[in-house]
Amino acid sequence: MKVYLAFIVLGSSLLAALGSSSEEIDSSEFGTVKGPRGTNCTCGWANKNEKRIVSGVETGINEFPFMAGLMSQRYKIVICGGSIITEWHVLTAAHCTRPMVDANTPMAVVVGEHDTVRKLETDATKIINVKYPIEHEKYGTLGHPNDIALLVLEEKIEFTKLVGPVCLPTNIINLNHKYITVMGWGRLKFEGGGSSVLMKVNLKVVPTEECNKKNPLKIPTDIPRQFCTGGNRRKDSCKGDSGGPLVMVDPETNRYVLHGIVSMGFGCATEKPGINTNVAYYLDWIQRKVHESVPGVYTCSKS
């Protein structure tokens, strides 16, 4: 969930995708067939969906097997997104876990989900309790630096065609002006309700200078720990999308790679860009925490 400070949206929220746009890309083959280069383990695939991403549309059922939702064990309502990175781990935002940690609220994740209300469209859905979260040691609430957390699960995720891990990047790359896909069960507008079905939208990565000019907090984007997206009145992530993935297809593998975690925004679908955690910067931290929590388990990436 996105954390809120007055008009500031921090954390998970629904996708704000208002109106149409010419910024469409044909994603119908993304992640569905293997590229010329492989990965060290199976990751980042997508299940065929005939829809194209216009200004925020419903995903195909189990289109993105790596998508997860964070919830409390008691209420089982998705409050943030997350990404499956191993059979035992889900990656999300620290601002999503911090309120639950402070309140001593037991957490759970849902995998294989699509419609959080009907729950009849897929047999892949499963809720797994979180054993414990690992928040980044230097996470801070002002500007949300190091907004990343690893959820260690009590039970192993069973990987199938419909549920599996996303690929991690191998190094930091320049994402400026590239289009990146974000998905979640967040709100469709700032004061609106959440979406019961998983939504997706393509957002443009905004250069740091432009992002800083439009940041009402006047806190510079923490490069390379963060990057900005959106700044479009028609398309954005919103409250409820926090902690969820921002992914791009690697043209060499044709597999989805997790580049960002939805962290902070200022309203939804405004001219103010959203701020995201840059996953590539934290690769060493992720690998270390994965190995410390479950020895012998590894993440997947391009080989």
pLDDT below 50 — which residues of the chain? 1-24, 53-54, 188-192, 235-237, 269
Closest CA to 101 of 132, 70, 76: 132
The pLDDT score that the predictor gives to residue 190 is 40
The pLDDT score that the predictor gives to residue 214 is 78
Cis peptide before 224 (omega within 30 of 0): yes
- d(CA 274, CA 206) in angstroms, rounded, equals 9
Residue type, 152: V
The pLDDT score that the predictor gives to residue 143 is 80
Q: Is the dihedral of CA 69, 198, 272, 220 positive or negative?
A: positive
The pLDDT score that the predictor gives to residue 267 is 54
The pLDDT score that the predictor gives to residue 236 is 40
Helix (H, G, I), strand (E, B) or coil at 117: coil
What residue spans in the chain does CATH classification 2.40.10.10 cover? 2-26+167-280, 66-165+283-290
The pLDDT score that the predictor gives to residue 40 is 97
The pLDDT score that the predictor gives to residue 16 is 46
Residue type, 122: T
Q: What is the 3-state secondary structure (H, E, C) of 199-252?
A: EEEEEEEECHHHHHHHCCCCCCCCCCCEEEEECCCCEECCCCCCCCEEEEEECC
- d(CA 18, CA 216) in angstroms, rounded, equals 22
Contact criterion met (CB below 8 Å) for 78 and 109: no
Beta strand ranges found along 12-148 (DSSP E): 16-17, 57-58, 67-72, 80-86, 89-92, 107-111, 126-135
Closest CA to 82 of 58, 39, 113: 113
Helix (H, G, I), strand (E, B) or coil at 191: coil
Contact criterion met (CB below 8 Å) for 138 and 282: no
The pLDDT score that the predictor gives to residue 266 is 63
Positions marked active-site: 95, 147, 242
1 burial class (0-12, 13-18, 19+ CB within 10 angstroms)? buried
The pLDDT score that the predictor gives to residue 122 is 92
Entry pTM: 0.88
Q: Cα 157 vs. chain centroid, distance in angstroms? A: 18
Domain 2-26+167-280 fold? Thrombin, subunit H (2.40.10)
Q: Is the dihedral of CA 129, 135, 140, 144 positive or negative?
A: negative
Angle made by CA atoms 208, 212, 217, in degrees to the nearest 5: 145
The pLDDT score that the predictor gives to residue 28 is 60
Closest CA to 278 of 237, 204, 224, 212: 224
CATH 3.40.50.720 fits 66-165+283-290, yes or no: no
- d(CA 256, CA 95) in angstroms, rounded, equals 24
Could you tell me the two tokens for 47?
Answer: 């299940």
